[in-house]
């Protein structure tokens, strides 16, 4: 899977992701800034907030828990907000996310 990360200033980083990793894990492993992922993916920090610019039907749907956590993110949520630790990647997915200005 390929993930394109665009930061709030418009700079873009493209990363080849490993099967089964999340968009958050892929960012942390590859030193992509703008995603913190403080809780390691257990839906308790909301520091992995992203705006899903271009998705894939195979990405997991938003759970109730994720929905609730998004109200506590540092930058206000938008219609396309997701917590990137919940965006598990597989196969030939192409995903594009934009990161918020701050996660804290």
Binding site for ligand FES (CB under 6 A): 24, 37-39, 41, 43-48, 69, 83, 85
How far apart CA 84 and CA 98 sit, in angstroms, is: 11
Q: Name the minimum Å distance from CB 41 to ligand FES.
A: 5
Q: Which is nearer to ligand FES, 12 or 44 (CB)?
A: 44
Beta bridge partner(s), residue 26 = none
How far apart CA 43 and CA 9 sit, in angstroms, is: 27
Q: Name the minimum Å distance from CB 36 to ligand FES.
A: 7
Q: Please give the residue whose beta carbon sits closest to ligand FES in the complex.
A: 85
Q: Are 86 and 63 in contact (CB under 8 A)?
A: yes
Q: Name the minimum Å distance from CB 38 to ligand FES.
A: 6
Residue 86 sits at φ, ψ, to 5 deg, of -95, -5
């Amino acid at each position: 899977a390929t993930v394109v990360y665009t930061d709030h200033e418009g700079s873009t980083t493209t990363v080849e992701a490993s099967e089964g990793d999340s968009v958050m894990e892929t960012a942390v492993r590859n030193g992509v800034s703008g995603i913190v992922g403080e809780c390691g993916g257990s839906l308790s920090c909301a520091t992995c907030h992203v705006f899903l610019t271009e998705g894939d039907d195979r990405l997991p749907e938003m759970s109730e828990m994720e929905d609730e956590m998004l109200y506590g993110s540092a930058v206000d949520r938008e219609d396309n907000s997701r917590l990137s630790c919940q965006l598990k990647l597989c196969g030939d997915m192409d995903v594009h996310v934009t990161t918020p200005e701050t996660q804290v």
